[in-house]
């Protein structure tokens, strides 16, 4: 059911330092920071030949990654995003298998303007999973 790995998201405290690390130390192509107030994050996109990495810095008081960074003060991998062809078909199949879909279970428009859902990390090997319809 799942297709390509769309991106890996890494939560960071200091987007400038993390961008410099990926650009200068790892030699990656790093975008300018893009504030996404509706998602409570500022994002830097890193294009790799086969996938993307997204660096997420909290934005605003109710950022969904603020608590993650309290528990992981050095930053850390926040979620992986897999592509699906049809997000409603994928959701219904996952729910039928007993997986918990976060929020109200309805897809929301994600950071790339495409519908996304998040799946409970306890159901997926301790990893928050995002599915995105492409």
Residue ranges binding Co ion (CB under 5 A): 9, 81, 130
DSSP string, 36-60: EGGGTEEEEEEE-SS-EEEEEEE-S
Radius of gyration of the chain from Cα atoms? 15
User: In the complex with Co ion, which residue's Cβ is closer, 83 or 130?
Assistant: 130
- Closer by beta carbon to Co ion, 19 or else 117: 117
Contacts of 57 (CB under 8 A, 6+ apart): 11, 12, 13, 14, 15, 18, 33, 41, 42, 43, 65
Q: Least distance in Å: CB of 57 to Co ion?
A: 14
* C-alpha count within 13 angstroms, C-beta hemisphere, residue 17: 7
- Report the residue number, 5 or 26, with the smaller CB distance to Co ion: 5
Give yes or no: 106 in active site: no
At closest approach, how far in Å is the CB of 33 from Co ion? 16
Catalytic residues: 130
């Amino acid at each position: 059911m799942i297709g390509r790995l769309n991106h890996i998201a890494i939560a960071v405290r200091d987007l400038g330092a993390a961008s410099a690390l990926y650009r200068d130390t790892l030699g990656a192509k790093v975008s300018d920071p893009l504030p996404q107030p509706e998602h409570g994050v500022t994002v830097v996109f890193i294009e790799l030949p086969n996938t993307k990495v997204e660096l997420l810095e909290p934005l605003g008081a109710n950022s969904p990654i603020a608590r993650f960074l309290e528990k992981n003060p050095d930053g850390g991998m926040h979620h992986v995003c897999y592509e699906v062809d049809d997000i409603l078909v994928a959701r219904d199949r996952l729910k039928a298998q007993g997986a918990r879909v976060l929020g109200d279970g309805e897809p929301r428009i994600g950071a790339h303007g495409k519908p996304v859902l998040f799946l409970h990390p306890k159901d997926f090997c301790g990893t928050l999973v995002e599915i995105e319809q492409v």
